[in-house]
């Protein structure tokens, strides 16, 4: 069994624009974010999707709707099925705070090089994708943030749903979130790939087998599929 997974990051939101940690906070898309969604739709217009999914956060659902509206090959497939398992990582008490404030604070607590950690991407470069999630939970005063074990438990359950419903050669669209896309790259490709922050509206492509994912494309904002 192997099907094709088109894993897309949603368009820009206001919290993306302001450089804030977003997680489960359901910020709306900006005008630029709607353009990101339409651009992804143009690039994917000629892919016949057998099914479409999104996380249950509006920024992912609306992006998926724009992609499907532009699609020329998928018949009457206009709405994604929402699966909460594909939500962004939950950042707990860090939600809504500026990433360039949180990252140095976590870096200091982890004893990382002073002055060299300014973004979530910098943390990933130093700690790895799983290590960064673990650090966010470790230092969240309310102990609400997801660590890597919590994230992968729910994500893997979502993938189990896809595997149960799709078969060889099918094309499946999933619109999710930046850290989700990055985490998948770190686990199933390599940590070096995951150091590259996924852009809004980017497309990554994976071949999904019974027990693995193989990367075909990552952070692609130019290919006409």
Binding site, annotated residues for substrate: 9-16, 59
Burial of 45-55, coded b for 16+ CB within 10 Å and e otherwise, reads: bebebbbbbbb
CB atoms within 10 A of CB 147: 19
Residues with active-site annotation:
10, 88
- Whether the Cβ atoms of residue 174 and residue 8 lie closer than 8 Å to each other: yes
Pull the structure tokens for residue 82.
Answer: 């929402």
Q: Classify strands 3-9 and 81-82 as parallel, antiparallel or unpaired.
A: unpaired
Name the one residue in this structure whose structure tokens are 């939950």. 90
- Whether the Cβ atoms of residue 217 and residue 204 lie closer than 8 Å to each other: yes
Name the one residue in this structure whose structure tokens are 């078969």. 167
- Whether the Cβ atoms of residue 65 and residue 32 lie closer than 8 Å to each other: no
């Amino acid at each position: 069994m192997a099907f094709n997974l088109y894993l897309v990051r949603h368009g820009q939101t206001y919290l993306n624009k302001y450089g804030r940690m977003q997680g489960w906070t359901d910020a709306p898309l900006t005008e630029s974010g709607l353009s990101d969604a339409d651009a992804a739709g143009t690039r994917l217009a000629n892919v016949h999707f057998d099914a479409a999914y999104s996380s249950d956060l509006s920024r992912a659902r609306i992006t998926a709707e724009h992609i499907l509206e532009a699609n020329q090959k998928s018949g009457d497939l206009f709405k994604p099925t929402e699966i909460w398992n594909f939500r962004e990582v939950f950042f707990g008490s860090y939600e809504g705070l500026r990433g360039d404030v949180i990252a140095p604070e976590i870096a200091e607590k982890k004893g990382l090089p002073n002055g060299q950690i300014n973004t979530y991407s910098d943390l990933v470069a130093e700690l790895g994708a799983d290590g960064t999630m673990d650090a966010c939970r470790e230092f969240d005063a309310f102990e609400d943030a997801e660590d890597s074990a919590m994230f992968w438990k729910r994500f893997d359950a979502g993938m189990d749903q896809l595997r149960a419903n799709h078969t060889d050669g099918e094309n499946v669209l999933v619109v999710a979130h930046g850290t989700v896309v990055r985490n998948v790259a770190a686990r199933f490709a390599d940590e070096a790939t995951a150091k590259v922050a996924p852009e809004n509206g980017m497309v990554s492509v994976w071949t999904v087998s019974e027990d693995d994912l193989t990367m075909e494309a990552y952070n692609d904002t130019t290919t006409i599929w």
